[in-house]
């Protein structure tokens, strides 16, 4: 609707402008956008192909694993491979070991990382910045370089061939988690804590009632990353565990691979069963993963 002023000059309202814009022709799809979608589609198919190959190979007979030319779908479906995978090793015990280790490390690591992040972001103490730089520098050291002193420490404590060697170190030290949460704590307005302090809240109460609720999104994303890393951890259980009853799923899956021959069908079935919980976790929590990464990028 047009409005006429005293000078009889019609003015177009914002509604008319929006109507004009909506009534215009749709912008043509650019060639670059089409190419981008094609590249992303091809990339997603290439990334999903090994996973699909693993799943379908779990149903194949052994004669079709290395068939030339390769065939994705089996000619004869054999679900009995999953029975062989479960009964060939103590799969239920390995599943429980992997789950409770990953769950405990995730829950307790989130707590220790949040406390350390709050200390580095809010509490002023001598040497805070140099200590934090040293803390971050440890992320550049490969785990293979620290495994020998770590093994010596675990041996002196009597924790070799126990799950404590897999639980305590990642709970006490997680440089990436501390860095991630520290960035979010620094973005929380200090006025919230000052108002709580004026009302008589202690440092611990401020942390529990104000900081932790505001860290739900980054802690959810970090918790997923920690859980996935612990579930797939193969290196540390291989070094510290000797008894099969204490093995986690990655070690049990590796049992199907021998020095001279391998049970490839059972190996693929066991790997599929081991990857299924991770796929379920990702489908359920993918929104938190994307939000956590996006917010971390916005923090700079």
Cα–Cα dist 289/223, whole Å: 9
**CA dist list (Å): 259 to 64, 219, 254, 263, 265:** 21, 42, 11, 11, 16
Q: Are 291 and 178 in contact (CB under 8 A)?
A: no
**Count of CB atoms situated within 10 Å of the CB of 195:** 13
**Model confidence pLDDT, tens digit, residues 170-195:** 998 888 999 989 988 988 888 988 89
**Residue 19: its pLDDT value, please?**
46
Per-residue pLDDT tens digits for 247-300 = 999 999 888 887 666 788 888 888 888 888 888 877 777 776 666 566 555 554
The pLDDT of residue 12 is 47
| Residues of the chain predicted below pLDDT 50 | 1-3, 5-7, 10-21, 300
Q: What does the domain layout of the chain look like in residue ranges?
A: 90-255
The pLDDT, as a whole number, for residue 1 is 46
CA distance 251 to 237: 7
Q: 1 with 15: CB under 8 angstroms?
A: yes
Q: Looking at domain 90-255, does it have CATH number 1.10.3720.10?
A: yes
Q: How high is the pLDDT of residue 280? A: 82
Task: Return d(Cα 133, Cα 130) in angstroms, integer.
Answer: 5
pTM: 0.78
**Which pLDDT value is given to residue 300?**
47
């Amino acid at each position: 609707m047009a409005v006429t002023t005293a000078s009889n000059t019609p003015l177009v309202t914002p509604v008319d402008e929006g109507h004009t814009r909506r009534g215009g022709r749709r912008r043509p799809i650019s060639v670059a956008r089409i190419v981008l979608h094609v590249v992303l589609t091809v990339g997603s198919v290439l990334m999903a192909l090994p996973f699909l190959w693993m799943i379908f190979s779990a149903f194949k007979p052994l004669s079709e694993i290395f068939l030339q030319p390769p065939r994705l779908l089996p000619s004869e479906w054999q679900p009995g491979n999953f029975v062989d995978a479960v009964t060939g090793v103590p799969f239920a015990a390995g599943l429980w070991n992997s789950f409770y280790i990953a769950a405990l490390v995730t829950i307790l690591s989130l707590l220790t990382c949040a406390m350390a992040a709050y200390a580095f972001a809010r509490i002023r103490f001598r040497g805070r910045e140099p200590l934090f730089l040293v803390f971050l520098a440890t992320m550049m050291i490969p785990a293979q370089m620290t495994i020998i002193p770590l093994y010596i420490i675990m041996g002196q404590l009597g924790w070799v061939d126990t799950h404590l060697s897999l639980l305590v170190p990642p709970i006490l030290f997680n440089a990436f988690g501390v860095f991630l949460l520290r960035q979010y704590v620094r973005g929380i307005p200090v006025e919230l804590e000052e108002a709580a302090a004026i009302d008589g809240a202690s440092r611990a109460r401020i942390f529990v009632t104000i900081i932790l609720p505001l860290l739900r999104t980054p802690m959810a994303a970090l918790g997923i990353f920690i859980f996935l890393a612990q579930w797939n951890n193969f290196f540390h259980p291989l070094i510290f565990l000797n008894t099969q009853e204490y093995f986690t799923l990655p070690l049990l899956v590796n049992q199907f691979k021998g020095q001279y021959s391998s049970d490839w069908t059972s190996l693929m079935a066991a790997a599929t069963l081991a990857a299924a919980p991770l796929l379920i976790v990702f489908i359920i929590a993918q929104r938190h993963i994307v939000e956590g990464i996006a917010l971390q990028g916005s923090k700079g």
